[in-house]
Amino acid sequence: MPEENKSITVQLIDRKWVNHVNREQIIGYCNYKLHPGALTEKLLKSHECIQKKCPYLKKLEDRKFWIKRKDKTEHKKIVKQEKQIQEQISLNLITEAQEFASTCHAELDIMQVNFDADRNSYIIFYISDNPEDDCYDYLDFLHAYCYEKKAKVELRHIRDMNGNYVTRADKKCYQK
């Protein structure tokens, strides 16, 4: 019989003795003198050992529970790092586009820039002083940016929830 499938008899931390428990179900031990014993996943959660950062908890690191937990933690860490990288790239694109707009004397505030690598295209979301779609006023900027990036570029004036175009005067209301 493989070691991980072997049945054992253990005392759990709730003072109950349990016969024929699969070794894999025991994920740790508590060495606290008031309730020493084996821990299952259910007992670990009900006693909140991890949340309390219990110093008496002895993890059995080779158990599937801890391996999965470690993998989830590492995955969350990677996702968080990727999100930070994406946010930094987005900020860089906004700054770059805003600087380019100012060199073209385009009086607009760039709020967001999305880049689609598959289509090699940019979508620039902006606000201006005009309460209407005035993207045609910025064709010089649009053409120069297309030429600079060697990509398709689309300008979109941001709208509010009612469908009205957002102006710089409204900007304070819509910022995070």
At 5 the pLDDT is 66
- State pLDDT tens for residues 68-126: 999 999 999 999 999 999 899 889 999 999 998 988 888 889 999 999 889 999 999 99
pTM: 0.59
At 57 the pLDDT is 94
- What are the helix (H) ranges across the chain? 41-47, 64-103, 139-149, 171-174
CA 89 – CA 140 distance, rounded (Å):
25
- Which one has a higher pLDDT value, 60 or 6? 60
CA 132 – CA 165 distance, rounded (Å):
6
CA 59 – CA 48 distance, rounded (Å):
14
At 1 the pLDDT is 45
Domains of the chain: 3-60 (no CATH), 77-174 (3.30.300)
**Confidence check: pLDDT of 173 > 70:** no
Query: What pLDDT band is residue 3 in, cutting at 50, 70 and 90?
Result: low
At 169 the pLDDT is 85
- State pLDDT tens for residues 132-149: 989 889 999 999 999 999
Show the tokens assigned to 16.
Answer: 């109950």
82 Cβ partners below 8 Å, 6+ apart? none
